[in-house]
Amino acid sequence: MTNVKERRKNVYELVQERLDFIFREFDNIYISFSGGKDSGVLFNLCIDYIHRHNLHRNIGVFYMDYEIQYRMTVDYVERTFKNNCDFIEIYHVCVPFRVTTCTSMYQDYWRPWDENKKTMWVRPMPSNALTADDFPFYDSRMWDYDFQAEFSRWIHSRKKAVRTCCLVGLRTQESYNRWRSIYRGVKEKYKDCEWSTRVDEDIYNFYPLYDWKTTDIWVANGKFRWDYNHLYDLYYQAGVSLDRQRVASPFISEAIESLSLYRAIDPDMWGRMIGRVNGVNFSGLYGNTHAMGRQKILLPAGYTWKSFMEFLLSTLPERTRQRYLSKLATSIRFWREKGGVLGEEVIRKLKERHVPIQVGGNTNYRTVKKPVRMEYLDDIDIAEFKEIPTYKRMCICILRNDHACKYMGFSLTKEETDRKRKALEYYGKAFKERNS
Looking at residue 66, what DSSP letter applies?
-
Mark whether 198 and 309 lie in a shared domain.
Answer: no
Lowest mean pLDDT among 57-66, 296-305, 346-355: 296-305
Task: Enter the pTM of the model.
Answer: 0.70
Q: What is the CATH number of the domain that holds 112?
A: 3.40.50
Query: Is 230 inside a domain boundary?
Result: no
Q: Which of 197, 193, 192, 166 is nearest to 180 (CA)?
A: 197
Instruction: Give the residue numbers spanning the domain of 148.
Output: 11-119+129-215
Q: Is residue 42 part of a domain?
A: yes
Q: Could you tell me where the DSSP H helices lie in 334-410?
A: 344-352, 391-399
| Number of domains the chain is built from | 2
> What pLDDT score does 414 carry?
44
**The pLDDT of residue 321 is above 90:** no
Give yes or no: residues 190 and 315 share one domain.
Answer: no
Q: Do 173 and 75 have their domain in common?
A: yes
Q: Is residue 237 part of a domain?
A: no
Per-residue pLDDT tens over the stretch 16-27: 999 999 999 999
The β-bridge relationship of strands 88-93 and 196-200 is: unpaired
Residues 202, 72 within the same domain? yes
Q: Are strands 370-373 and 164-168 parallel, antiparallel or unpaired?
A: unpaired
Measured in whole angstroms, how far is the alpha carbon of residue 398 from the centre of its chain?
A: 20
What mean pLDDT do residues 17-41 have?
A: 96
Closest CA to 198 of 189, 210, 207, 208: 189
- The pLDDT value given to residue 290: 45
CB count in 10 Å sphere of residue 345: 11
How deeply is 125 buried, as exposed, middle or buried, from its count of CB atoms within 10 A (0-12, 13-18, 19+)?
A: middle
- Residue 48 and residue 152 in one domain: yes
Rounded to the nearest angstrom, the gap between the alpha carbon of residue 158 and the centroid of all alpha carbons in its chain is 26
CA 160/CA 163 separation, integer angstroms = 9
Band of residue 293 on the pLDDT scale cut at 50, 70, 90: very low
- Asked if 204 and 329 sit in the same domain, the reply is no
Between 361 and 98, the higher pLDDT residue: 98
Contact indicator for 38, 209 with CB cutoff of 8 Å: yes
Is 2's pLDDT higher than 50?
Answer: no
Q: Is the pLDDT of residue 292 over 50?
A: no
Q: Considering the domain boundaries, does residue 259 fall inside one? A: no
What was the pLDDT predicted at 1?
38
Per-residue pLDDT, 47: 96
pLDDT tens digits along 130-189: 999 999 999 999 999 899 999 999 999 999 999 999 999 988 765 545 455 555 555 688
Q: Answer yes or no: do 209 and 352 share one domain.
A: no
In a domain, 167, yes or no: yes
Are 61 and 33 in contact by the 8 Å Cβ rule? The answer is yes
Instruction: Give the three-class secondary structure for 184.
Output: coil
What pLDDT was estimated at residue 70? Answer: 86
- Segment among 157-161, 223-227, 310-314, 401-405 with least mean pLDDT: 401-405
Query: Is 78 in the same domain as 182?
Result: yes
Q: Is residue 284 part of a domain?
A: no
Same domain, 196 and 324: no
Residue 63 lies in a domain: yes
In terms of Cα–Cα distance, which of 74, 409, 96, 107 is closest to 282? 107
Evaluate whether 363 touches 371 at the Cβ level (below 8 Å): yes
- Rounded-to-integer distance, Cα 392 and Cα 379, Å: 6
pLDDT in tens, 256-269: 556 667 766 877 87
Report the pLDDT value the prediction gives residue 433, as an integer from 0 to 100: 55
Burial class (CB in 10 A: 0-12, 13-18, 19+), 174: middle
Q: Is 222 helix (H, G, I), strand (E, B) or coil?
A: helix
Check whether residue 73 and residue 192 sit in a common domain. yes
Q: Which residue, 91, 96, 85, is CA-closest to 158?
A: 91
* Residues 56 and 205 both lie in one domain: yes
Percent of the chain whose predicted confidence (pLDDT) is above 90: 50
Question: How far, in Å, CA of 399 to CA of 313, rounded?
Answer: 10
The answer to whether residue 229 is domain-embedded is no
Burial classification of residue 409, based on how many CB atoms lie within 10 Å of its CB (0-12 exposed, 13-18 middle, 19 or more buried):
middle
